Amino acid sequence: MSNIVIVGDGAIGLLYSYFLSATNNVTLITRSKKSGQQYYYQGNNGKQLIKIKTLNNQNLTCLGGIDIVIIAVKAYQVQTALSQLTPYLHDSCEVILSHNGMTDLAPIMGMLNEQPVYFLTTRLAGFKANSATVIHTGNGESILGACYSAADKKYHTLVSTLCAIPSLSYSEQIDTIRWQKLLINIAINPLSAFYNVKNGALNSPKYNSDIFNLVSEACFVANKLGAGVTLPDSLENAYKVMSATADNFSSMHQDSVHNRPTEIDAMCGYICQQAKLLNLKAPYNQYYLDKIRHKKSAN
């Protein structure tokens, strides 16, 4: 059994905790002040306790012997979460990032010593019915990949350890896969949050031009950075996800409704940031970046 630490008790963090706890020792780090907080998984076979240890993120002194860390928090929380853990990570500990959007990896790499770093993108679906229960609504492909070449040589044992995660595979093209997911997120999240609609509503023709302009602009920037994505495929993928998740609200919509910070800076904001570095304009992504930021500040 491996000792796995998972940071974040959102839906994805709890789903990872449930699946991985079957064959590993899992510790979940949360911001909950409740000592010994218990969490539950609800799937097709009813509700059951997730068999893990829980720790508050301000009380980590008992951590030790960590084999794998999975950071499953919002993009803007990653650096803080990792900084709290770095004193407890030995050099061979494997670090896995799993969040929406794209961020600059340089600050994260600068916080670590020799630890191999990976990214895990997932289409596992679920939502929290309350603060302690995750409802598992669907499975989808989860793809693991190395963030740099040295880590790429060490993945076989890691994949074996994580194999309880449904439909898990490894890819040497994780950067392209992340770009593909970012483009889907850009097509769905800002619009669903701004117009207060479910994902399926975005199939309406009245949103076509916004979706096309956002994704076209992001594709252009992505390919200037060597992503190798195409506009037709990106649009097709986005509309497929809209249809497959038609009755769901996007994560950005939920964050906006509940007056929480959103991941807009890691989506439209990342495109605007990279466009500026390339001396390009990204007016559509800038428009929705400003709108979602303003919507949050106005709430």
83-108 pLDDT per residue, tens: 999 999 998 899 999 999 999 888 89
Of 171, 286, 172, residue with least CA distance to 218 = 286
Q: What is the pLDDT of residue 35?
A: 67
Q: What is the pLDDT of residue 297?
A: 59
Helices 208-224 + 268-277 axis angle, to 10 = 40
226 φψ region: left (φ > 0), alpha (ψ -120 to 50), beta (else) = left
Quote the percentage of the chain above a pLDDT of 70.
98
Q: What is the DSSP letter of 88?
A: G
Of 132, 177, 102, 186, residue with least CA distance to 11 = 132
Q: H helices within the chain, ranges in order?
A: 11-20, 78-85, 106-111, 149-152, 155-161, 174-195, 208-224, 231-244, 251-257, 268-277, 283-298
Question: All domains of the chain, ordered by start, with CATH?
Answer: 3-172 (3.40.50.720), 176-298 (1.10.1040.10)
Q: What is the pLDDT of residue 114?
A: 84
Of 121, 75, 67, 69, residue with least CA distance to 96 = 69
125 vs 137: CA distance, rounded Å: 5
| Lowest mean pLDDT, pick from 43-47, 98-102, 151-155, 226-230 | 151-155
Q: What is the pLDDT of residue 149?
A: 75
Q: What is the pLDDT of residue 3?
A: 96
Helices 283-298 + 208-224 axis angle, to 10 = 110
Q: What is the pLDDT of residue 250?
A: 93
Q: What is the DSSP letter of 89?
A: -
- Asked whether residue 32 carries a pLDDT value surpassing 90, the answer given is no
123 vs 115: CA distance, rounded Å: 26
Q: Which residues pair with 95 in a beta bridge?
A: 69, 117
- Asked whether residue 73 carries a pLDDT value surpassing 70, the answer given is yes
Q: What is the pLDDT of residue 287?
A: 98
Order across the sheet with 68-71: list the strands.
53-56, 25-30, 3-7, 68-71, 94-97, 117-122, 142-146, 168-170
| Cα 228 to chain centroid, rounded | 21
Give the tens place of pLDDT for each residue, 158-189.
999 999 999 999 999 999 999 999 999 999 99
Q: What is the pLDDT of residue 292?
A: 97
At 211, the pLDDT band (50, 70, 90 cuts) reads very high
